[in-house]
Amino acid sequence: MEKWSLMTITALLGLIVRWTVSLGSYSGEAKPPMYGDYEAQRHWQEITYNLPVKQWYFNTSDNNLQYWGLDYPPLTAYHSLLCAYAAKLINPNWIALHTSRGYESQPHKLFMRTTVLVADLLVYIPAVILYCYYLKETSTKKKISSTLCILLYPGLILIDYGHFQYNSVSLGFALWGVLCLSYEFDVLGSVAFCLAINYKQMELYHSLPFFCYLLGKCFRKGLMGKGLLLLMKLGFTVVVSFALCWFPFCTEVKQILQVLQRLFPVDRGLFEDKVANIWCTLSVFFKIKTALSSETQLKLSFALTFLSVLPSCIKLTLQPSLKGFKYSLAACALSFFLFSFQVHEKSILLASIPVCLVIHEIPFMATWFLLVSTFSMLPLILKDGLLQYYLVTTVAFLTVCAASFSILEKTTEEDLQLKTLSTSIRRCIPWFKTFPKVIRSLFLVSITLMGILTLMSATLDPPKRLPDLFPLAVSTVSCLHFLFFLLYFNVIAIWESRDSRNQKKTN
């Protein structure tokens, strides 16, 4: 009972922080003619309520796709329709066809913010609480601390409650999938993850670890017995889940192709805004978008993404384990963010949530990564006028993590999950004993650098010849961090089973 009371207080604190951030500005506020993501979500409510399903993804006189056309899967459209019914009951003008474009008012802002909070309460927050509550071989203090740190992660709060999106829905469904798989409810886990993909296609970042982990379990059970039965159950579950979500669009092949074209707009190029991935960083030195054809860019992006996810996925298939699964989720999502085609800065959240799941295991490195992931979205945060919320939530998050986990003391090889690898390296490089000290030093340098760049971006005007100097500096510094973390998560994902075997021998 006491544990649930503490969990309730923790959840309430997370809700208070969320609602406080929601009082600030949002994407595109008072910025015609396109406004921003807030208007995009409102416009989708307008379209789904007033037009028949067959027209949702098609360009018509009533649905100009150049003005925030739907480009997310069917579940997002259904969610928009549900919100539209609620909006209709309160004020029909909010979703009136054509005339509601750019609608802004304080009551409408309150309504829109409330829809995010309700979605969070129904999907994401329960998944976080249950995941942390049922952590195995973990003290009550660490469970509460993990819950608090995850709920206070500033990146997701600033994007959903500041910028304005519903990332907590797709990420929450993915978390339910992880939770179900943790307790051998593989079919339910598959359903939950199918819902995540059908809400936001970017959840494909997590698809390979889910697939490889479940396939590895089937191999382990034997493909001539229980493994085959499990494989058939999972295959049937995925087909039925997708069929139910896509049923209204399956009447014509043209409908399906149009939706897919909206979901994967390859004609938009390798990248658009200043995103902290390898392509934007390389463009500082080599104009890859003009030097290579679009087809070559697409092939190169696919090849590098595939090669970077291969090691952890192969290991997970051959030796499926929950620990390896969670680190593979982080590594694969980060690989997609760094190397895939047409990435948005907000997509770093797909790597951040799996890292949140292991914050009790690697508190120092997880906290560091989550700070960098939030910092990488600084240009977008500044554009939305959310600097003060960014500073307060980031400092609060760092303070809570430091107080809960004593992160600066958690830098031994055991704490970093690198003992086995370090032992192997020291046989060749004796001075590798200083590695924990090097990591602590790098962390302090990193925090200082992020602080300086934040201050410069917020207070200084860039040179006229280099108008994108600060956004590019933020994305480049963040990208270098992410490459380091990609290596780190892959090392743990690949070496963790060896650690497990050693522990069994010791026991």
Question: For residue 505, is pLDDT > 50?
Answer: no
Is residue 239 situated within a structural domain? Answer: yes
pLDDT of residue 506: 30
**Of 361, 326, 356, 329, nearest to 137 (Cα)?**
361
Question: For residue 349, is pLDDT > 50?
Answer: yes
Is the model more confident about 86 or about 3?
86
Q: CA torsion sign, 58 to 206 to 168 to 346?
A: negative
Are 38 and 26 spatial neighbours (Cβ–Cβ below 8 Å)? yes
Is residue 164 situated within a structural domain? Answer: yes
How far apart are the C-alpha atoms of 139 and 240, rounded to whole Å? Answer: 39
Measured in whole angstroms, the distance separating CA 126 from the mean position of its chain's CA atoms is: 17
How far apart are the C-alpha atoms of 177 and 242, rounded to whole Å? Answer: 15
pLDDT of residue 10: 94
- Mean pLDDT of all residues in 178-182: 95
Query: What Rg do the C-alpha atoms of the chain give, in angstroms?
Result: 23
Are 395 and 375 spatial neighbours (Cβ–Cβ below 8 Å)? no
Q: What is the pLDDT of residues 401-443, one digit of tens each?
A: 999 998 888 888 888 888 777 777 777 776 666 677 888 999 9
Is residue 98 situated within a structural domain? Answer: no
- Mean pLDDT of all residues in 376-392: 96
Measured in whole angstroms, the distance separating CA 388 from the mean position of its chain's CA atoms is: 23
Are 125 and 16 spatial neighbours (Cβ–Cβ below 8 Å)? no
Residue 176 pLDDT level (bands cut at 50, 70, 90): very high
Residue span of the structural domain in which 451 resides:
2-29+104-498
pLDDT of residue 366: 96
Question: For residue 503, is pLDDT > 70?
Answer: no
How far apart are the C-alpha atoms of 277 and 482, rounded to whole Å? Answer: 8
One-character DSSP codes across 72-84: S-HHHHHHHHHHH
Q: What amino acid is encoded at 448 in this protein?
A: T
Are 281 and 468 spatial neighbours (Cβ–Cβ below 8 Å)? no
pLDDT of residue 496: 60
Q: What is the pLDDT of residues 447-462, one digit of tens each?
A: 999 999 999 999 999 9
pLDDT of residue 200: 96
Question: For residue 98, is pLDDT > 60?
Answer: yes
Is the model more confident about 275 or about 272?
275
Is residue 144 situated within a structural domain? Answer: yes
Q: What amino acid is encoded at 106 in this protein?
A: Q
CA-to-CA dists, residue 258 to 40, 78, 285, angstroms: 19, 17, 37
pLDDT of residue 499: 44
Are 103 and 42 spatial neighbours (Cβ–Cβ below 8 Å)? yes
How far apart are the C-alpha atoms of 400 and 144, rounded to whole Å? Answer: 11
Burial of 55-88, coded b for 16+ CB within 10 Å and e otherwise, reads ebbbeeeebeeeebbbbbbbbbbbbbbebbeebe
The CA dihedral of 216, 220, 223, 227, to the nearest 10 degrees, is: -80
Which residues are within 8 A (CB) of 160 and not within 5 positions of it... i.e. 6 or more apart?
18, 116, 120, 166, 167, 168
CA-to-CA dists, residue 414 to 328, 357, 364, angstroms: 19, 18, 12
How far apart are the C-alpha atoms of 501 and 276, rounded to whole Å? Answer: 37
**Of 276, 266, 283, nearest to 349 (Cα)?**
276
How far apart are the C-alpha atoms of 281 and 480, rounded to whole Å? Answer: 9
Question: For residue 501, is pLDDT > 80?
Answer: no
Structural domains counted in the chain: 1
How far apart are the C-alpha atoms of 235 and 230, rounded to whole Å? Answer: 9
State both tokens at 216.
Answer: 């590895």
The residue written with tokens 């999972």 in the block is 234
Are 44 and 56 spatial neighbours (Cβ–Cβ below 8 Å)? no
Instruction: Please give the angle made by the CA atoms of 447, 452 and 455, to the nearest 5 degrees.
Output: 125
Is residue 456 situated within a structural domain? Answer: yes
Phi, psi of 417 (to 5 degrees): 60, 35
Are 375 and 354 spatial neighbours (Cβ–Cβ below 8 Å)? no
Question: For residue 135, is pLDDT > 50?
Answer: yes
Q: What is the pLDDT of residues 59-74, one digit of tens each?
A: 999 999 999 999 999 9
How far apart are the C-alpha atoms of 45 and 404, rounded to whole Å? Answer: 41
Is residue 457 situated within a structural domain? Answer: yes
Question: For residue 248, is pLDDT > 60?
Answer: yes
Q: What amino acid is encoded at 270 in this protein?
A: L
How far apart are the C-alpha atoms of 181 and 192, rounded to whole Å? Answer: 10
Of all residues in the chain, the percent with pLDDT exceeding 70 is 96
Are 482 and 446 spatial neighbours (Cβ–Cβ below 8 Å)? no
pLDDT of residue 388: 96
Q: What is the pLDDT of residues 283-311, one digit of tens each?
A: 888 888 888 888 888 899 999 999 999 99
Q: Where are the alpha helices (DSSP H) in 340-386?
A: 349-357, 363-375, 378-383
Is residue 47 situated within a structural domain? Answer: no
Is residue 393 situated within a structural domain? Answer: yes
Q: Which pTM value belongs to this model?
A: 0.94
